[in-house]
Amino acid sequence: MTDTTARVHELNLYRQYFDLVAAGTKTIEVRVKYPHLADLAAGDIICFRIKGTDETCEIKVKRVTGYPDFESLLDGEGPANVNPTATREQQLANIRAIYLPEKEALGALAIEIELLVAVPQTSD
C-alpha cells in the first residue's frame, strides 16, 4: 500500500504577496534554498499564513526549480509570474530587502503554485 497523503508545509508570507497568492495571480513563490525546504516537491501543500494573524490560504506545489540567485530566477520564471504588480527591478530590490546576500548565496527556489482554497476577502 502506498501513502498518497500530501505533505503539508506551513510558511509565513507578507501581506502584499499573500493577497496576490489568494487572488490566484501570483503563480511563482520565491524562497531561499534553506535546508528545511530541500524536500519540497510537486504535490505538496503549503499553508501560507500572514504572521501574527489567522489568515491562511492553501496552495498545491506544481513544481520546484532551483536557481543560483534571484536574478536568474526572475529571468527563468518571468517577473510577472512572481509579482504581476511590480517591475523586474522592483521585485529584485524587494526580494533582496527580505533576504540578505548571505541568504541569496544559498541559492533560490522558484515554487510554482496553484491556489487550492480561496480566502474570503474581509472589508477592513
Q: What digits encode the pLDDT tens for the residues 32-78?
A: 999 999 999 999 999 999 988 999 999 999 999 999 999 999 999 99
Residue 1's pLDDT is: 46
Q: List the one residue out of 79, 18, 73 whose CA is nearest residue 51.
A: 18
| Domain 8-115, classified CATH 2.30.130.30, yes or no | yes
Q: Is the pLDDT of residue 31 over 90?
A: yes
Domain boundaries defined on the chain: 8-115
Distance set, CA 112 to CA 1, 18, 39, 49, 74 (Å): 29, 15, 15, 17, 13
Task: Give the global pTM.
Answer: 0.89
d(CA 113, CA 25) in angstroms, rounded, equals: 10
Residue 70's pLDDT is: 98
96 — pLDDT class (breaks 50, 70, 90): very high
Q: List the one residue out of 30, 59, 55 whose CA is nearest residue 43.
A: 59
Kindly state the greatest CA–CA separation across the chain.
Answer: 49
